[in-house]
A and B are shown apart, each in its own frame.
Chain A
Amino acid sequence: MAEEGWEPKIVAFCCNWCSYGGADTAGMGRFQQPASTRVIKVMCSGRIDPLHVFNAFLEGADAVLVTGCHIGDCHYVNGNEKTEVRYEFLEEMLQQLGLEPDRLHLNWISASEGERFANFITDVTAKVKELGPSPLKPAGVK
Chain B
Amino acid sequence: MVNVGDMLVGYATNEDVRKRGASGGLVTAVLAAALEKGLVENVVVMKHINEFEAVPIITDDVDEVLASTGSLHSVPVNLAKYAMGRKVAMPAKPCDTQAVIEQAKRGMIDLDNTYVVGLNCGGSMHPVTTKKMLVEMYDIDPEDVVGEDIEKGKLIFKTKNGEEKAIAIDELEEAGFGRRESCRYCTLKIPVNADLACGNWGVIGDKAGSATFCQVMNDKGVKLLDNAIEAGRIEVEPASDKAIAIRAKVNDVMVNLGNTLEKEIFPEIPDEERMQYYMEPMADCIDCGACKEVCPVCACGEDSKCTMFHSLVDNYKMSMYHMVRLLHLSDSCIACGQCSDVCPSDIPITLLQSSFAIPSQRKREYTPGMNVDDVPPFFEVILK
- The answer to whether A and B touch directly, with their CB atoms under 8 angstroms apart, is yes
List residues of chain A with CB under 8 Å of any chain B CB.
49-51, 54-55, 58-59, 78, 81-82, 85-86, 89-90, 92-93, 96-99, 135-139
Interface: B371 (CB within 8 A): no
Task: For A96, give its contact among B324, B355, B382 (CB under 8 Å).
Answer: B355
Which residues of the partner chain B approach A97 to less than 8 Å between Cβ atoms? 274-275, 278, 323, 326
Please, how many residues of chain B have a CB less than 8 angstroms from a CB on the other chain?
35
Query: In the complex the two chains form, what is the Cα distance from A78 to B323 in whole Å?
Result: 27
A85-B382, A89-B377 are known contacts; what are 10 more A-B pairs with Cβ within 8 Å?
Answer: A51-B320, A55-B320, A81-B383, A81-B384, A82-B381, A89-B360, A93-B360, A98-B276, A136-B275, A139-B315
Assess whether A93 is in contact with B320, with CB atoms less than 8 Å apart: no
Which residues of the partner chain A approach B323 to less than 8 Å between Cβ atoms? 54, 58, 97
Instruction: For A101, give the chain B residue with the smallest CB separation.
Output: B271
Q: How far is the CB of A88 from chain B (nearest CB, A)?
A: 9
Within residues 265 to 302 of chain B, which ones have a CB less than 8 A from any CB in chain A?
269, 271-279
Query: In the complex the two chains form, what is the Cα distance from A93 to B316 in whole Å?
Result: 18
Assess whether B316 is in contact with A51, with CB atoms less than 8 Å apart: no
Q: DSSP majority for the B interface?
A: helix
Interface: B330 (CB within 8 A): yes
Instruction: For B308, give the chain A residue with the smallest CB separation.
Output: A51
Binary CB contact string for chain B from 357 to 384 against chain A (1 if under 8 A, 0 otherwise): 0011001000000000000011001111
Within residues 305 to 360 of chain B, which ones have a CB less than 8 A from any CB in chain A?
305, 309, 314-318, 320, 323-324, 326-327, 330-331, 355-356, 359-360
Which residues of the partner chain A approach B276 to less than 8 Å between Cβ atoms? 98
List residues of chain B with CB under 8 Å of any chain A CB.
269, 271-279, 305, 309, 314-318, 320, 323-324, 326-327, 330-331, 355-356, 359-360, 363, 377-378, 381-384
Assess whether A138 is in contact with B315, with CB atoms less than 8 Å apart: yes
Query: In the complex the two chains form, what is the Cα distance from A50 to B309 in whole Å?
Result: 12
Instruction: For A96, give the chain B residue with the smallest CB separation.
Output: B356
Query: In the complex the two chains form, what is the Cα distance from A92 to B382 in whole Å?
Result: 17
Query: In the complex the two chains form, what is the Cα distance from A54 to B321 in whole Å?
Result: 10
Query: In the complex the two chains form, what is the Cα distance from A97 to B278 in whole Å?
Result: 7
Assess whether A93 is in contact with B327, with CB atoms less than 8 Å apart: yes
Assess whether B274 is in contact with A51, with CB atoms less than 8 Å apart: no
Assess whether B318 is in contact with A85, with CB atoms less than 8 Å apart: no
Which residues of the partner chain A approach B355 to less than 8 Å between Cβ atoms? 96
Query: In the complex the two chains form, what is the Cα distance from A78 to B363 in whole Å?
Result: 25
